Amino acid sequence: MSTALQLTCLDGCNYYLENEQQQAATIEAVAVSDVTLPTTNVAVLKCTVSWKESTAQDANYCSILSFSISPQRPCRSGGLMFCSNISFIYQVDTTIYALVPRPVVQGHFIITDKNMNFQTSVSLNFYRAPRLIQAQFSSNFALVLLSFDQPTTSSPTSCAELVLGSNFGLKSECVWFTPAQLTIVLGYNSSLLPGDELTLIASIKAASDPRSFSRAVQKCPVDSPLQALIPRLTILGPNSISSCDEAEISVQSTSSRMTYIWGCRNDPELHAAISVETRDTSIRISGLNLSKGILYVITVQGRSDFGVYSDVYTQEISLSTLITPILLIELPSPPYFQSREILVQANAKFSQCGETSNPISFTWTLYQAVGSVENTVQAPILEAQGSLLQILAGTLRAGETYLVHLVGFLASQGISQTQQSFVVGHESVVARITGGNKVMYENAFLDASQSYDPNYCTVVPASFPVQRICTPLEPLKFSWSCQYPSGLKCRFVNKSLATFDRVPLIHIVLAVLDLTGYTNISMTVTVVGSHSSDTLSVVLIAGTGPVVECEIVPLYKTADGIAYQANDIQSNGSQLEYVWNIIEKSSGYSLPLLDQATFLTG
């Protein structure tokens, strides 16, 4: 008796697993067999599969807990019993093979008889809901990065709908910078600390199939960053005061939520008077506590609530033999970067020892420090008059220490002077991929050549779009990687791992990639500069037909509006119509525009 068996799922062979706690799924299938008897035999199979996670990458199997096969009717033909008193029941072994709990996997339901006379199978698709796998502070503790095991639909966007907690601070925000990572921008007075538990309350949907979403609350402790940034301080205050005056020495920090440890390095009596550990950002020193002829070294060190200490910073102060005003240099809060303008303000407080308040004229000198701050042997970088010193973007160099020297000239009381140092930090490299997400048909070009290192770039004034002139110490380095929506690395059709040239512009040929079971891939570029790196991802969607490539070209920007033009790169002379959308990056809100013209103005 020959047997042909066909197996069919009753529910489309798709199974949506809500969360990592779900450890079983019920599968129903129909086995239809044509035999050399007058009737068709149908077996309905129902089985439950279960699994558990394993540390081995490919060791998560599903095993049958139970199954049932309905008996077939006796075979009859024309009222005659061809197989009298015989009920043909398939004796089968059932095996379900799948790799779970990966985000998207394909398994196989295999049926064989015990004598191995036949075998048939059907493919099963398992979709696991997005799972929160890590919550981690950024290196400066200003952000919390929530990573998921697969791309999501990037919604919702409101913190109130996403996470439970009131310790994120005032005006905190939640932003999906990538589909697989949610960023919480902590607000003012946040009290979140490493080790605190974060509760995700939203039903997060999978980008691969939005029908797969988690209904369960997910909890995860917030980890410390892999490498925390050391806070940088700027200490401000006068270098000399009169005996009748009081000096206020303040500190600014690149990090929030700091405790400051104050002291005096070279005088035990003054150290005892000002030594304190406080959240206050300033201390006061009376001129009565100072003696003539001594240069006092005031110290301050910061400690963040996250347990990270800054270096020790110093400010020198002495008792003036003349009655002079107290000069103050007011720097903006750090950090300071080469690509940003810095405005420094001069201020003067007249001495309590005298009644005069004559006008003061200010002279500024900016030096690059060599060695210690006191040994400034470089020629002046910038000189200026007036109460405001403007340091234009591009004037300073990243990683260098600079000294601002201020002299105040009085009409009747000579001069008063002070100085202040600050360090220019290194900015992160910026990765860019021209065109963003796109649909590809046969091939696609990805261009990351617009990536740049802001530490070695100057912006062309009044340029639109913004143009930069960059002279890095060494060329940027590029590397590319490819991932399927399941999170697995892409492979070529020959099953080898997909690799790409380490250049800014790459050419992707669709025919050489194995896209079995997938309609899109994610391409990520990593750009490495002299002091930092950055990554950026775009999604490439496999199109079903030829794609017209377009580009958006900025035309002009004025006080009245802005204009862009759409250029078709490969239209083959066809007349194109355009549909414009303006999308708010932080919320994802889209404003469709009905104008089908080539130009967008507003």
CATH topology of domain 322-425: Immunoglobulin-like (2.60.40)
The whole-number average pLDDT for the span 259-266 is: 95
pLDDT band at 38 (very low <50, low <70, confident <90, very high): very low
pLDDT band at 599 (very low <50, low <70, confident <90, very high): low
41-54 residues labelled b (16+ CB within 10 A) or e (exposed): bebebebebebeee
Please give the backbone phi and psi of residue 40, each rounded to the nearest 5 degrees, phi first.
-100, 130
Strand partners, 509: 443
pLDDT exceeds 60 at position 373: no
pLDDT exceeds 50 at position 41: no
Neighbours of 141 (CB within 10 A): 24
- Compute the distance between CA of residue 272 and CA of residue 479 in angstroms, rounded to an integer: 56
Question: Does residue 570 or residue 408 have the better pLDDT?
Answer: 408
Provide the CA 542 distance to its chain's centre, in angstroms.
Answer: 26
The whole-number average pLDDT for the span 562-586 is: 68
In this prediction, residue 45 carries a pLDDT of: 53
Query: CATH class for domain 427-545?
Result: mainly beta
- Compute the distance between CA of residue 583 and CA of residue 585 in angstroms, rounded to an integer: 6
User: If you write DSSP's letter for every residue of 375-399 in order, what string do you get?
Assistant: ---SPPSEEEESSEEEE-TTSS-TT
In this prediction, residue 503 carries a pLDDT of: 93
pLDDT exceeds 90 at position 263: yes
- Of 436, 435, 434, 476, which is closest to residue 454 (Cα–Cα)? 476
Let me know: does 363 contact 344? Beta carbons within 8 Å. no
- Compute the distance between CA of residue 440 and CA of residue 547 in angstroms, rounded to an integer: 7
Query: Tens digits of per-residue pLDDT, 303-335?
Result: 988 888 998 988 889 988 777 788 888 888 888
Lowest mean pLDDT among 5-14, 48-57, 402-411: 48-57
User: If you write DSSP's letter for every residue of 458-490 in order, what string do you get?
Assistant: EEPTT-SS--EEE--SS--EEEEEEE-TTSPBP
In this prediction, residue 278 carries a pLDDT of: 92
pLDDT band at 57 (very low <50, low <70, confident <90, very high): very low
Provide the CA 519 distance to its chain's centre, in angstroms.
Answer: 25
Q: The tokens 């036949």 sit on which residue? A: 118
Residue 420, token pair as written in the block: 């202040």
The whole-number average pLDDT for the span 79-85 is: 36
pLDDT exceeds 80 at position 71: no
How deeply is 284 buried, as exposed, middle or buried, from its count of CB atoms within 10 A (0-12, 13-18, 19+)? exposed
Those residues whose C-beta lies under 8 Å from the C-beta of residue 162, and which sit 6 or more positions away, are 156, 174, 182, 200, 201, 202
Lowest mean pLDDT among 114-123, 196-205, 287-296, 475-484: 114-123
Residue 342, token pair as written in the block: 């810095």
Question: Does residue 111 or residue 448 have the better pLDDT?
Answer: 448
pLDDT exceeds 90 at position 388: yes
pLDDT exceeds 80 at position 81: no
Provide the CA 133 distance to its chain's centre, in angstroms.
Answer: 15
Neighbours of 90 (CB within 10 A): 19
The architecture (CATH level 2) of 132-223 comes to Sandwich (2.60)
pLDDT band at 338 (very low <50, low <70, confident <90, very high): confident
Question: Does residue 13 or residue 438 have the better pLDDT?
Answer: 438
In this prediction, residue 352 carries a pLDDT of: 80
222-234 residues labelled b (16+ CB within 10 A) or e (exposed): bebbeebbebbbb
pLDDT band at 350 (very low <50, low <70, confident <90, very high): confident
Helices (H), 111-151: none
Query: Tens digits of per-residue pLDDT, 148-157?
Result: 888 888 888 7
Give, in order, the Cα–Cα distances in Å from 121 to each of 16, 107, 109: 20, 10, 5
In this prediction, residue 257 carries a pLDDT of: 81
188-202, 209-223, 264-278: range with highest mean pLDDT: 264-278
- pTM for the model: 0.52
HSE-up of 206 (CA within 13 Å, CB side)? Answer: 25
Please give the backbone phi and psi of residue 16, each rounded to the nearest 5 degrees, phi first.
-105, 115
How deeply is 494 buried, as exposed, middle or buried, from its count of CB atoms within 10 A (0-12, 13-18, 19+)? exposed
DSSP state of 336: B
Q: The tokens 């220019």 sit on which residue? A: 424
pLDDT band at 136 (very low <50, low <70, confident <90, very high): very high
pLDDT band at 28 (very low <50, low <70, confident <90, very high): low
Query: Tens digits of per-residue pLDDT, 171-215?
Result: 788 888 788 889 888 887 888 989 999 999 988 888 877 777 777
Those residues whose C-beta lies under 8 Å from the C-beta of residue 328, and which sit 6 or more positions away, are 236, 237, 238, 346, 347, 348, 349, 418
Residue 219, token pair as written in the block: 């909890």
Question: Does residue 34 or residue 472 have the better pLDDT?
Answer: 472
In this prediction, residue 385 carries a pLDDT of: 94
Question: Does residue 67 or residue 384 have the better pLDDT?
Answer: 384
The whole-number average pLDDT for the span 499-504 is: 91
Lowest mean pLDDT among 289-298, 416-425, 456-465: 456-465
**pLDDT, mean over the chain:** 76
Lowest mean pLDDT among 36-40, 233-237, 520-524: 36-40
pLDDT exceeds 60 at position 58: no
Lowest mean pLDDT among 2-11, 268-277, 482-491, 546-555: 2-11
In this prediction, residue 272 carries a pLDDT of: 92
Lowest mean pLDDT among 179-183, 470-474, 586-590: 586-590
pLDDT exceeds 70 at position 356: no
> Given the DSSP bridges, would you call strands 14-17 and 119-128 parallel, antiparallel or unpaired?
parallel
User: If you write DSSP's letter for every residue of 182-249 in order, what string do you get?
Assistant: EEEE--BT----TT-EEEE-S-PBBSS-TT-B--S-EEEEEEPPSSPPPP-EEEE--SEE-TT-EEEE
Question: Does residue 439 or residue 523 have the better pLDDT?
Answer: 523
Residue 471, token pair as written in the block: 């002279």
pLDDT band at 298 (very low <50, low <70, confident <90, very high): very high
pLDDT exceeds 90 at position 364: yes
- Of 18, 153, 17, 151, which is closest to residue 485 (Cα–Cα)? 151
pLDDT exceeds 50 at position 496: yes
In this prediction, residue 48 carries a pLDDT of: 52
Question: Does residue 515 or residue 88 have the better pLDDT?
Answer: 515
The whole-number average pLDDT for the span 93-114 is: 54
- Of 453, 439, 454, 461, which is closest to residue 520 (Cα–Cα)? 439
In this prediction, residue 383 carries a pLDDT of: 93
- Of 429, 268, 242, which is closest to residue 323 (Cα–Cα)? 242
pLDDT exceeds 60 at position 541: yes
In this prediction, residue 504 carries a pLDDT of: 94
In this prediction, residue 35 carries a pLDDT of: 43
Question: Does residue 107 or residue 560 have the better pLDDT?
Answer: 560
